[in-house]
């Protein structure tokens, strides 16, 4: 049986594209005893409230009709954000050469966090331009790096 996030992504993709956006990710997670369905979108020039609304309203109706989730949940549509998480191979491909923050489960060389230009991604392993390589089993999270 397909995962709920995958089923929702299939439903969401045409709605997101009709709003002039691209689907970045879908997550269905339990936090503090509550279920959340989050649809992350992206758009050239950035995502604003109007773009989120243009996706949220028709997608909410479509989800009510298709009813792919058996229990109650909170539905959210938002921008993938400047510091978006990279989870799928296509995320890494799209962000090649950009600065990323890699967070590890356990310290390596005295640190659990590394920042560098993304130089490669293969079978879950992350390679930075400085030659550092992190195996999939060691990587807790990879996000785009944003300087403020």
For 124-144, the pLDDT digits (tens) are 999 999 999 999 999 999 999
For 89-122, the pLDDT digits (tens) are 999 999 999 999 999 999 999 999 999 999 999 9
Domain 4-79 is classified in which CATH homologous superfamily?
Answer: RimP-like superfamily, N-terminal (3.30.300.70)
CA 39 to chain centre: 9
State how far the alpha carbon of 80 is from the alpha carbons of 7, 95, 112, 139, in Å.
Answer: 19, 13, 24, 20
Q: Does 2 have pLDDT greater than 70?
A: no
Alpha-helical runs (H) found in 1-148: 4-18, 49-66, 89-94
What is the DSSP-derived secondary structure letter of residue 85? B
Closest CA to 119 of 138, 132, 137: 132
Pick the CATH number of 89-144 from 2.30.30.100, 2.70.70.10, 3.90.79.10, 3.30.160.270: 2.30.30.100
What is the DSSP-derived secondary structure letter of residue 52? H
């Amino acid at each position: 049986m397909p995962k709920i996030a995958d089923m929702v992504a299939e439903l969401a993709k045409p709605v997101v594209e009709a709003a002039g956006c691209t689907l970045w990710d879908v997550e269905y997670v339990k936090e503090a005893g509550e279920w959340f369905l989050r649809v992350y979108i992206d758009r050239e020039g950035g995502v604003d409230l109007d773009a989120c609304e243009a996706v949220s309203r028709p997608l909410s109706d479509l989800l009510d009709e298709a009813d792919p989730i058996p229990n109650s949940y909170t539905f959210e549509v938002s921008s993938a954000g400047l510091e978006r998480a990279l989870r799928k191979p296509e995320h890494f491909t799209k962000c090649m050469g950009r600065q990323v923050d890699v967070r590890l489960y356990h310290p390596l060389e005295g640190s659990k966090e590394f920042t560098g230009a993304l130089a490669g991604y293969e079978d879950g392993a992350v390679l930075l331009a400085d030659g550092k390589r992190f195996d999939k089993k060691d990587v807790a999270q990879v996000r785009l790096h944003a300087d403020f």
